[in-house]
Amino acid sequence: MKKLFVFVCVAVFLFGGNAAQAQVSESPEWASRIKAEGLNRSQVEEIAQFLTDYAGSRLTASRQKRRADSLVVAKLQEFGFSNPRAAFAMDFPRGGWDVVKTYAAMVTPYYCAFSVNPRAWSGSTDGLVKGECMLFDVNTKEDLEKYRGKVAGKILLIPSTRTYDINFEPLASRYTEEELEVLLQDNRGTARSRYGRMSMDYRAYMELRQLINEFYAAEKPLCVVNASGSFNVPGSSGVSYKAGDPEPVPEIAMPIEDHGRMVRLLEKGRKVEMELELINRFSDEREVHNIYAEIPGTDPKLKDEIVLLGGHFDSWHGGTGAADNASGCIVMIEAMRILKELGFKPKRTIRLALWGGEEQGLYGSRGYLEQFLYKDQKKLPGFDKFALYLNMDNGSGRFRGIYLEQNDAATAFFEAWMKYIEPLGFQYLSPRTTGGTDHQTFTRYGLPAYQFIQDKLEYGRTYHTVMDTYERLSLSDLKVDATIVAWLAACAANDPGRIPVNPAVEAAQPRF
Ligand SMILES: [Zn+2]
C-alpha cells in the first residue's frame, strides 16, 4: 500500500497539471470522411505502381535511388504537400553502386542461362569471360590455405548451407486470433536474449569473412558464386566494402536450384564451366538522403510538435523493393494524401519521412535523430516536440494492431484513438516490443515510436529477393492500412495530450 501511495504521488507530480494525459479521439465526422476518402477514393494503386514499376530498385546511395528520390519529390509536390524535399541524412561509408549489366550461364557440360543477382558493391568482370568452376569450401582459417595458389581465373562455388525441403505450409498467411492473443500478453522479463551466444559465433564468422575477402583480393578468382534464394529466384545482399577500397572481386547470388545443380556435378567429378558478364558501376556518392514533406500544424502552441509518418524508401537491388518497403511508403504517402485532400487542419505538424539507408543500418532515421532530436548525449530542441512516430516495414499485409514498446502510458492513447478503426481490423494493442526497422532509432531513447502488428502475407519468402515486385503488394490491404494511418495521425495531431517518453527507458539509461 505504501509503495502504491508513493507511486501515485510521483505520478501526480510528474503529470499533474499538464495535458500529457489527455486521450481524445478525433470526431466521428472525421472518421467517416477519412474512411470514405481512403476506402472509396484510394490512390494506392497509382502510388504503388509509381513507386515500384516506375521508380525501380533503390539501393542506398545508388544512382537509381537518386533518380527515385527526385521522382517521388515531384509526386509529393503534385499532391500539394508542403515543402517536399530530399535532404542529407548521414554520410554513407559504402558509397554508390549500380548494376549496369548482368549475364550468367553454365556452358559446360551444356548451355543453360541462369537468373542471378550480383551482390551489391561487388566488382565487374573484364567483359564477357569464361572459366572453370570449382568448389570453395572454407569453414576455418586452415581450409583457406588449401586453396592458396589454385583459384586464379576460376569461378568459386560456395557450398550452400541450405537444402531444399518440400514445404507444406501455405505460401501466404494471416495472423490467427490465437496468435494475436499471445501478443496481448506482456512478456517483459521472459523474452529470451539471443545476444550472448550469437555474438561469439558472429565474431568468429566475421573474422573468417575478413580473411576470405583478403584471400579473394590476393588470389583473384574470376567470380564468386553464392547460393541465395530458391524457386529459381536469387536473393539480394551486399559484400563488405568501404568507399575507396579496391573493387572487390565479382560476386553473384544464385538460387539454390541452379547453384545446387553445378555443385552436384562438381562433387561427381564432372567439369563445369560458366560464362559471365557482370558490369557494376561504383560512384562517388557518399550520402544517405531522406525524403520529407509536411502538412503544417495550425495551432500556435502545438504546430512545432511533430507527428511523424514513415518507412524506409531504400531497397535492395533486383526487384523493385515492393513489399520491402515501397509498401510502407505507399501507405504513408496515401495517408498524407487523404488528410490533405480532405482539407484536414492538424494542430500539430504531420511530417512524412521516407528514410534512406535502412537496409545497411538505419542510416536515414539515425541521421534524423542526430539532426533534430538527440546528439552527443544531449537532447536537441526537436526531442520535446516529438509527438508520435508511426513506422511501416513488414510487407503489404493488413494492420491488426500495434506494438506499444513497453510504454504503458501509450495504451490509453491508442485505446481512445482506435474506437473507429476497430471495425477495420485494428484491434490488438500489444505491450511488446518489435524490432528490425527504423522505429527503433527512436524507441532507444524512449520516444513514442511504433510499428504495426501486420499480417505477414508472403513476406518471408519474397523480401530481399528479385521477386519483391508490384505483384507482392496486396492493394486492398494497403488501402485499409493507409486509412488507419490517416486516422491515427489525425488523432495524434489534435489530441490535447501526447504520449510521454517511456519512463523505464529514461530511468534505465539516464542520458538527459
Ligand atoms: Zn525493410
Q: What is the mean pLDDT of residues 288-315?
A: 98
pLDDT at 205: 86
Query: Could you identify the residue written with the cell 509527438?
Result: 387
DSSP category for residue 372: I
- SS3 per residue for 140-208: CHHHHHHCCCCCCCCEEECCCCCCCCCCCCCCCECCCHHHHHHHCCCCCCCCCCCHHHHHHHHHHHHHH
Task: Report yes or no: 251 and 107 within 8 Å, Cβ to Cβ.
Answer: no
What is the 273 CA–ligand 1 centroid distance (Å)?
36
The rounded Å distance from CA 456 to ligand 1 centre is 13
Q: Ligand 1 centre from 422 Cα, in Å?
A: 26
Q: State in Å: Cα 478 to ligand 1 middle.
A: 16
Separation of CA 7 and ligand 1 centre (Å): 40
Burial class from Cβ neighbours inside 10 Å (0-12, 13-18, 19+) for residue 39 reads middle
Express each pLDDT in 360-389 by its tens digit. Answer: 999 999 999 999 999 998 999 999 999 999
DSSP string, 83-101: EEEEEEEEE-TT-EEEEEE
Cα–Cα separations (whole angstroms), residue 239 to 3, 112, 132, 248? 55, 26, 23, 8
- 227 alpha carbon to ligand 1 midpoint, in Å? 22
Q: How far is the CA of 312 from the centre of ligand 1 (A)?
A: 6
Q: What is the pLDDT of residue 161?
A: 79
Encode pLDDT of 245-275 as tens digits.
999 999 999 999 999 999 999 999 999 999 9
- Record the cell numbers describing residue 460, joined without a space: 518471408
Tell me the mean pLDDT in the region 278-294: 97
Kindly list the domain boundaries of the chain, sorted by start residue.
20-92+285-508, 97-163+196-283
Residue 19 has pLDDT above 80, yes or no: no
Distance CA 262, CA 276 (A): 15
Distance of CA 362 from the midpoint of ligand 1 (Å):
10
Distance from the CA of 455 to the center of ligand 1, in angstroms?
15
Q: Average model confidence (pLDDT) for the chain?
A: 92
Same fold, 20-92+285-508 and 97-163+196-283: no
pLDDT over 70 (residue 15): no
pLDDT at position 160? 87
d(CA 466, CA 57): 10
Measure 476 CA to ligand 1 centroid, in angstroms: 20
In order of 63, 232, 278, 281, 316, the CA distances from 284 in angstroms are: 10, 34, 20, 10, 19
CA of 57 to the centre of ligand 1 (A): 13
Write the CB contacts of 373 (distance below 8 Å, at least 6 apart in sequence). 379, 380, 382, 383, 386, 442, 445, 447
Average pLDDT rounded to a whole number, residues 277-284: 97
Place of cell 550452400: 160
Mean pLDDT, residues 480-486: 98
List C-alpha distances in Å: 343 to 166, 294, 480.
Answer: 53, 13, 20
Does 20 have pLDDT greater than 70? Answer: no
Per-residue pLDDT band at 191 (split at 50, 70, 90): low
Residue whose C-alpha is closest to residue 89's, from 359, 378, 353, 411: 353
**Å from CA of 495 to ligand 1 middle:** 30
Q: Is the pLDDT of residue 426 over 80?
A: yes
Cα of 484 vs centre of ligand 1, distance in Å, is: 20
Distance 156 CA to ligand 1 centre (A): 30
Name the pLDDT band for 505 (thresholds 50, 70, 90): confident
User: Is 418's pLDDT higher than 80?
Assistant: yes
What's the CATH number of domain 20-92+285-508, 1.20.1560.10, 3.40.630.10, 3.40.640.10, 2.40.50.140?
3.40.630.10
Is the model more confident about 339 or about 1?
339
How would residue 441 be classed by pLDDT, with cut points 50, 70 and 90? Answer: very high
What CATH number does domain 97-163+196-283 carry, 3.40.50.720, 3.10.20.600, 3.40.309.10, 3.50.30.30?
Answer: 3.50.30.30
Residue 416 pLDDT exceeds 50 = yes
How many angstroms does the Cα of residue 151 sit away from the middle of ligand 1? 36
Place of cell 588449401: 146
Q: What mean pLDDT comes out for the span 488-503?
A: 96
Burial class (CB in 10 A: 0-12, 13-18, 19+), 362: buried
Crossing angle of the two packed helices 63-79 and 327-341, in degrees rounded to 10: 20
Q: If you measure from the C-alpha of residue 505 to the centroid of ligand 1, how many angstroms do you get, rounded to a whole number?
A: 25
Please, what is the Cα angle at 303 between 299 and 479, to 5 degrees? 100
- Percent of the chain predicted with pLDDT > 70: 93
